[in-house]
């Protein structure tokens, strides 16, 4: 049986905000797609819910935080992203709930994106490989926070403040990369190499994983080649598309 074909993702937009749980999440799923988009002149921002400070076994969180933030900023720069913010919520123990929604809604109101990108929030990656709790909490909260951002009576304390925030209802869709329910894809063939470099920028993190003979290019090829086949290109990234309007 042939794998299910993917539709090309919409590229008629100007601004995207990527909201993910950890530094490195974008690089394992979507950095090459981001490089393609910034190459088209679009503006993409990164919003990291945590600083990944619990991600390196041999490094205590207070030291790890700065290392991982610096790696993420460099990794973003390589794919044409200048705006990188860290919400500072606790790595590893994120909870879906109102405080998480509020923090993400604030970021959406400030950035005013047309689309919001997040990571897979389903229970698994397909098959039996379990997803991680922070990813699930973040993606679920993103879906709700995008709606919250448009409602002036929700998190009303954020509005009209010194930050000059207003409600923002301009997000057309939320896109979750790496989802087992992906229906759409982005051709990353031309930007594949910069995607690899963007993952390799997480040097301290990758070393800390202690994966013997880890090869960023090989791993990304392993994800991108089968996805590319579904889109009819060499390499691609896949996305689940969640429309934020009514009637879809
Ligand atoms: Zn992660």
| Spacing, Cα 29 to ligand 1 middle (Å) | 10
| Spacing, Cα 62 to ligand 1 middle (Å) | 19
To which residue do tokens 């990813």 refer?
A: 135
| Spacing, Cα 117 to ligand 1 middle (Å) | 14
Q: Do residues 184 and 6 lie in contact, with contact meaning Cβ atoms separated by under 8 Å?
A: yes
Residues with CB under 5 A from ligand 1 (ion): 22, 25
Percent of the chain clearing pLDDT 90 (strictly above): 90
Q: Do residues 64 and 56 lie in contact, with contact meaning Cβ atoms separated by under 8 Å?
A: yes
Q: Rounded distance, CA 224 to CA 193, Å?
A: 12
- Tens digits of residue pLDDT in 174-198: 999 999 999 999 999 999 999 999 9
| Spacing, Cα 215 to ligand 1 middle (Å) | 18
| Spacing, Cα 232 to ligand 1 middle (Å) | 28
| Spacing, Cα 139 to ligand 1 middle (Å) | 11
The radius of gyration of the chain's CA atoms, rounded to the nearest angstrom, is 17
Percent of the chain clearing pLDDT 70 (strictly above): 98
DSSP tag of 143 = H
- Tens digits of residue pLDDT in 220-245: 999 999 999 999 999 999 999 999 97
| Spacing, Cα 211 to ligand 1 middle (Å) | 16
DSSP per-residue letters across 149-192: HH-TTSSGGGTTSTT---------EEEEET-TT--EEEE-TTTH
| Spacing, Cα 189 to ligand 1 middle (Å) | 24
């Amino acid at each position: 049986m042939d794998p299910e074909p993917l539709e090309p993702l919409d590229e008629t937009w100007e601004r995207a905000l990527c909201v993910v749980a950890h530094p490195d999440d974008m690089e394992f799923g979507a950095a090459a797609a981001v490089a393609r988009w910034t190459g088209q002149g679009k503006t993409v921002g990164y919003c990291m819910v945590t600083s990944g400070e619990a991600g390196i076994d041999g490094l205590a969180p207070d030291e790890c935080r700065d290392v991982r933030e610096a790696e993420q900023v460099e990794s973003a720069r390589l794919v044409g992203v200048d705006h990188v913010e860290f919400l500072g919520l606790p790595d590893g123990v994120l909870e879906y709930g109102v405080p998480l929604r509020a923090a993400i809604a604030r970021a959406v109101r400030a950035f005013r994106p047309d689309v919001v990108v997040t990571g897979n929030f389903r229970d698994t990656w397909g098959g039996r490989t379990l997803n991680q709790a922070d990813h699930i909490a973040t993606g679920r909260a993103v879906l709700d926070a995008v709606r919250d951002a448009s409602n002036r009576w929700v998190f009303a304390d954020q509005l009209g403040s010194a930050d000059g925030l207003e409600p923002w209802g301009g997000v057309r869709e939320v896109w979750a990369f790496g989802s087992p329910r992906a229906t759409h894809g982005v051709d990353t063939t031309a930007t594949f190499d910069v995607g690899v470099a963007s993952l390799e920028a997480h040097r301290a993190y990758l070393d800390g994983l202690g994966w013997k003979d880890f090869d960023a290019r090989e791993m990304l090829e392993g994800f991108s080649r089968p996805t590319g086949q579904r889109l009819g290109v060499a390499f691609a990234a896949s996305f689940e598309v969640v429309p934020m309007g009514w009637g879809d």
